[in-house]
């Protein structure tokens, strides 16, 4: 996997994803397509016609073409035929599908078009609840030249769920663009005083992200850290539930739900500690961004998080689903600013060495080249 992104040359690549909101998988598609485009490849993104439009807006001005597609029903041979015709029209060399639905349809369309197909699975095992879905994904993998997950934990789970040899699955870590540390007005926005401390978490407001545990941990820290605040950047179904939980625990004046933010670097820049309280993950981009921002990190030991944080050398790891463990780890960093600063600097060095977006683009470029050479 030592190829450079330049090895893609004049390759024509299709990227397929069934959603286009501001989530992790969508952000990976944006970074990958634009990075490959800058390296000389031609890219087209197949996006849902009835989606939010976020991903298409992110791709504007990048040179990446966008084609909107519509899946009318869960099982649609016509949809696969339409993709095959689109691959032929665009003279696609490699098709790359993200997550379950496009993995299934993209693999069939690519097989019929006679071009190699790559699958990336980013997160949860929602496909595993129904046998029909497991069989469909297993068949898609059989039609594809390479199957990728973003973490070793996900790779093992996928292999078990689909009765596959672990060797059939490759792990390619996510990457993000390192940005310079920036100034932040978030503390002024939240009207924090000089002595106030601020925890920051970034992630959509879904149960799996563990924000309830984090609010519980804040309440547990109330006596020892009465001026500690928590800001959560993200949107989702639990916004009202989290606000209600904060009220019941008496910390609503110190919990700030920021909603979806476009200035994540500035949000991170205001943090005394970044917290990832998830109960399940692959390799979350928010964690990598916090590492690049040199923030001290407390994170649950899920997915590839321990690997990213060098097994505790670049951040504090705690067991998921345990607010008391989160509270203890946060207390330890808040009372030891020297250790917190050292962990943040280690995280930044590790991010630059292992998780820069250019590394992700090069790894996928090599995977595409290998897929084109395999039968």
* CATH code of the domain containing 273: 3.40.50.2000
What pLDDT, on a 0 to 100 scale, did the predictor assign at position 1? 41
Residue whose tokens read 């199957």: 147
- Nearest-5° angle of CA 232, CA 237, CA 238? 50
36 domain residue, yes or no:
yes
Question: Is residue 361 a contact partner of residue 172, using CB atoms and an 8 Å limit?
Answer: no
Is 190 found in the same domain as 141? Answer: no
Which domain range does residue 53 map to?
A: 5-175+356-373
Q: Is residue 184 very low, low, confident or very high in pLDDT (cuts 50, 70, 90)?
A: confident
Say which residues have a Cβ less than 8 Å from residue 158's Cβ, sequence separation at least 6: 121, 125, 147, 149, 164, 169
Would you state the torsion angle of the CA atoms of residues 154, 160, 164, 165, taken in this order, to the nearest 10 degrees?
A: 80
Is 292 found in the same domain as 267? Answer: yes
What pLDDT, on a 0 to 100 scale, did the predictor assign at position 180? 66
75 domain residue, yes or no:
yes
What pLDDT, on a 0 to 100 scale, did the predictor assign at position 374? 61
Is 360 found in the same domain as 339? Answer: no
What pLDDT, on a 0 to 100 scale, did the predictor assign at position 47? 97
180 domain residue, yes or no:
no
Residues constituting the chain: 375
pLDDT > 90? residue 165: yes
Per-residue pLDDT of 12-45, as tens digits, reads: 999 999 999 988 899 999 999 999 999 999 999 9
Question: Is residue 274 a contact partner of residue 268, using CB atoms and an 8 Å limit?
Answer: yes
| Dist CA 81 CA 83 (whole Å) | 5
Is 163 found in the same domain as 113? Answer: yes
Is 138 found in the same domain as 160? Answer: yes
Alpha helix locations (H) across the chain? 24-38, 54-59, 77-90, 100-113, 131-143, 152-161, 186-189, 211-220, 239-248, 264-269, 285-292, 305-308, 323-334, 337-354, 357-373
Is 32 found in the same domain as 72? Answer: yes
Per-residue pLDDT of 190-221, as tens digits, reads: 999 999 999 999 999 999 999 999 999 999 99
- Predicted TM-score of the model (pTM): 0.88
271 domain residue, yes or no:
yes
| Dist CA 4 CA 159 (whole Å) | 29
Q: Say whether 38 sits in a helix, a strand or coil.
A: helix
Whose CA is closest to 145, among 88, 97, 196? 97
What is the number of structural domains in the chain? Answer: 2
Could you tell me the two tokens for 179? Answer: 């940005």
181 domain residue, yes or no:
no
């Amino acid at each position: 996997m030592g190829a450079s992104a330049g090895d893609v040359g004049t390759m024509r690549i299709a990227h397929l994803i069934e959603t286009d909101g501001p989530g992790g998988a969508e952000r990976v598609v944006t970074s990958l397509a634009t990075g490959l485009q800058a390296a000389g490849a031609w890219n087209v993104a197949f996006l849902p016609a009835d989606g939010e439009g976020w991903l298409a807006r992110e791709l504007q001005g990048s040179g990446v073409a966008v084609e909107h597609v519509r899946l009318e029903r869960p099982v649609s041979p016509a949809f696969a035929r339409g993709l095959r015709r689109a691959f032929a029209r665009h003279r696609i060399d490699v098709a790359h599908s993200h997550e379950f639905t496009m993995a299934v349809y993209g693999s069939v369309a690519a097989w019929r078009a006679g071009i190699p197909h790559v699958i990336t699975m980013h997160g949860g095992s929602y496909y595993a609840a129904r046998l029909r879905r497991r069989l469909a994904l297993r068949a898609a993998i059989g039609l594809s030249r390479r199957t990728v997950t973003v973490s070793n934990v996900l790779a093992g789970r996928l292999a078990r769920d689909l009765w596959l040899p672990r060797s059939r699955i490759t792990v390619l870590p996510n990457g993000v663009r390192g940005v310079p540390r920036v100034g932040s007005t978030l503390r002024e926005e939240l009207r924090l005083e000089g002595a106030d401390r601020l925890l920051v978490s970034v992630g959509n407001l879904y149960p799996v992200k563990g924000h309830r545990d984090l609010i519980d941990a804040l309440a547990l820290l109330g006596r020892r850290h009465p001026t500690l605040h928590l800001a959560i950047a993200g949107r989702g179904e639990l916004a009202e539930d989290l606000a209600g939980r904060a009220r019941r625990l008496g910390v609503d004046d110190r919990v700030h739900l920021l909603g979806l933010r476009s200035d994540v670097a500035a949000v991170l820049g205001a943090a005394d500690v970044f917290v990832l309280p998830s109960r399940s993950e692959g390799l979350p981009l928010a964690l990598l961004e916090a590492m690049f921002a040199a923030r001290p990190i407390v994170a649950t030991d899920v997915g590839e998080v321990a690997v990213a944080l060098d097994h505790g050398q670049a951040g504090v790891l705690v067991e998921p689903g345990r607010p008391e463990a989160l509270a203890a780890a946060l207390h330890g960093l808040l009372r030891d600013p020297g250790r917190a600063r050292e962990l943040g600097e280690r995280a930044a060095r590790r991010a630059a060495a292992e998780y820069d977006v250019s590394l992700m683009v090069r790894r996928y470029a090599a995977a595409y080249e290998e897929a084109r050479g395999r039968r």
